[in-house]
């Protein structure tokens, strides 16, 4: 688990309810009984093992912006390029998705507006046939919380899903995937997240109460997390 945010300080109410990213990811992916190693990407002194040290890797979301190009992000991007040369399954979520795209030659920029809501994610033909994304229905309600998006994918990365605000999933080199949505986040957690950013949303002309009222359950998110677990642990073959 490459963790790119400290939820205990960023979102203490969410942390009190659901734990840190490692806890949420392990729970929704059904990793009880499996060893989960957390690497704090924000700590420049934290050892960053080679990709081959892991059966599979999650890269978490973050309040940081990929376009800031902080040293810890550049270090993580170098690791991603190494991972792309291996068969180690890796899944970047939200910021993690953007970081993978940036590391492999794509572009990331500010979204037209803050996207904190339940969105309808639509699979592309490639997504319907993809080993990971095909666990989702053709259209799925999923939780979204971001201010930046991938605006251009690397040339060899097919888009697997989209929503009204742009690209929402892609398959990158090797066994790397990225999703803009948060499969680990439930409706109750989404309400806490929107409440936390209420001031920023309303400053941008977005009705936070309407966004909270529009939250829907997202049962397909954990299904995707468990599918990734099965790929990483060898219950499903790797490859296209």
Q: Which residues are catalytic?
A: 94, 182, 184
Rounded to whole angstroms, the Cα distance separating 228 from 177 reads 10
Q: Angle between the 95-103 and 71-84 helix axes, to the nearest 10 degrees?
A: 70
């Amino acid at each position: 688990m490459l963790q790119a945010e400290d939820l205990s300080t960023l979102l203490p109410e969410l942390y009190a309810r659901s734990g840190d990213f490692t806890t949420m990811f392990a729970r929704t992916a059904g990793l009880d009984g499996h060893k989960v190693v957390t690497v704090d990407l924000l700590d420049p002194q934290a050892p960053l093992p080679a990709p081959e040290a892991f059966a599979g890797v999650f890269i978490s979301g973050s309040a940081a912006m990929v376009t800031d190009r902080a040293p810890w992000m550049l270090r993580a991007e170098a690791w991603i390029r190494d991972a792309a040369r291996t068969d180690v399954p890796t899944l970047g979520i939200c910021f993690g998705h953007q970081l993978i795209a940036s590391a492999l030659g794509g572009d990331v920029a500010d979204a037209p507006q803050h996207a904190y809501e339940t969105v309808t994610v639509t699979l592309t033909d490639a997504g319907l046939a993809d080993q990971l994304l095909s666990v989702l229905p053709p259209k799925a309600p999923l939780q979204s919380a971001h201010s930046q998006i991938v605006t251009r994918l690397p040339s060899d990365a097919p888009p697997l899903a989209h929503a009204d605000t742009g690209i929402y999933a892609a398959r990158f080199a090797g066994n790397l995937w990225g999703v803009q949505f948060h499969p680990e986040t439930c409706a109750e957690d989404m309400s806490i997240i929107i409440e936390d950013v209420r001031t920023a949303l309303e400053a941008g002309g977005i009705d936070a109460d309407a966004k909270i009222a529009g939250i829907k359950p997202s049962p397909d998110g954990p299904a995707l997390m468990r599918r990734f677990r099965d790929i990483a642990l060898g219950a499903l073959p790797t490859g296209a």
